[in-house]
Amino acid sequence: MKNKIIVSIILFHFLFGMNLLLAQSDFEIVENFKKRVSQVEQHIKDADSLAELAKIDREIEKLRSDFIPNEELLNRSLYPNNFDKTFRNLREAYQLRENDFTQIDVLATEVTGLRVEVDTLRRRNNELTLQFEELGQQTSARIGELEKTIARLNSSLKKRDQIVMNMIDSMLTPSGSDGELSPKEKQQLLSEAEQNNVLYHIKRAVNDNIRFINATELQPDDIEELRNRQQNFFRIWGSVGPTMVELYAARGKSTNELKEIDEAFSRWHNELNREVWVSIRSKFAGNNVKLQNFSSGEEFTAVITNYIGDEIRNANTRGNDETEATYNRFVDSTWYSGINSEWLPFLLDNNMLDEKDKDTIEVMIASWKDTVYPGGINWLYIVIAVVVIALIIFFFTRKPQKTTETIISSEPS
């Protein structure tokens, strides 16, 4: 009995529903279909996961099955679309969204991988930073140690040079009033030289000094000290060298060793000069100013003036920032921060550079400054113009007053 009631209710609803369906306007069916399609399209757009998209897949299928009885009506009514094309469009939209999620998944996987890689690199960077800091500490320690070693070496060379110079000096016994050595003194000089192996020590001392110069980058003070030492050494050798040559020649001995010593002294002198120019050039290079090689005052002046000339000529084609940066690197950071105060006095004192060359360079620098910062000249013109105008105004305002006074004073009282 109960089952019969349930079946009756279902049948009633089915028939009523069918009746409603049959009585439905085609227009409403089409509008209802369009509304459902729009809803599905919106759901596709709003879906935020593949799981949610899977539900929409079922929704599309249900939509199709719901409206398949009206396919013919919809084919006629959905101009310019039709039933199948509408579902193809929905499927395409669905597929695109699915591809988006697939791509997002792939990208998410890549991001995860990259995150792991970043973590690994971060750890590696930390390790490297620690190693770098340790190496920095070690390097600082080593540099300090090296500087101490250089200082010790310099000091040792200085002591050894002094001993060798004393040795040479001691060979020179007081001579007669005419400065000529007696045969006995000459014999004594020769035997002492041979006995003390003096020539070997001199040659060794000069060569060691040359090696020291080549191995280190020296500052003006160091070079000044080395130059004094070299000149002192050369002066002492000059007092005994010619006599030694004469003695060796008189006794038929080879004078090659003596000539080698002369050449070594000459090389020492040249190396010192070369070291000066190398140090100056490296000072520029340290501030990213790349100059051509130079090994004399003339070459130095020519290189500097050519460099500045090129910069002045190229100032118009470069941007202001670049021109100013180059000027600042050269002039402010190098020329006036080291070369002018440290090296120029040394170069001038040692006749390695003329005052004329120095002036030439400074004129070029002033010209460069005018090119880079032309505003200064304009201000000067403005100040001059203001002064001239003020003088003219003063002149014209003073003159009439005097005339009036003259007229008044000339009137009869």
Partner 1 sequence: MKPIKYFIFIVFLSLQACSSLTLKPADFSWPIESVLEVSKDGFVKEDRHSLFFDTKNMFLEETEDSSAYMNKEIRIIRDAKGYYYITSNNFNNVYVFNVYDGELCLENKIEITETGISKPAFNQRPPYIELVEGSNKHLLSNDGIKSED
Query: Residues in the site for partner 1, rule: CB under 8 A?
Result: 19-20, 23-28, 30, 73, 76-77, 79
Q: How far is the CB of 41 from partner 1 (least distance, A)?
A: 21
Cis peptide leading into residue 242 (ω within 30°): no
**Residue whose pair of structure tokens reads 């060793």 in the numeric block:** 257
Alpha-carbon span 213 to 194, nearest angstrom: 29
Q: Which of these, 304, 288, 308, lies nearest to 296 by C-alpha position?
A: 304
Question: How many other C-beta atoms are found inside a 10 Å radius of the C-beta of residue 303?
Answer: 17
| Residues near 398 by beta carbon (within 8 Å), at least 6 away in sequence | none
What's the token pair of residue 215?
């191995």
Alpha-carbon span 297 to 306, nearest angstrom: 14
What's the token pair of residue 223?
């070079």
Q: How far is the CB of 62 from partner 1 (least distance, A)?
A: 23
Phi-psi region of 49 (alpha: psi -120 to 50; beta: other; left: phi over 0): beta
| Residues near 142 by beta carbon (within 8 Å), at least 6 away in sequence | none
Alpha-carbon span 182 to 185, nearest angstrom: 5
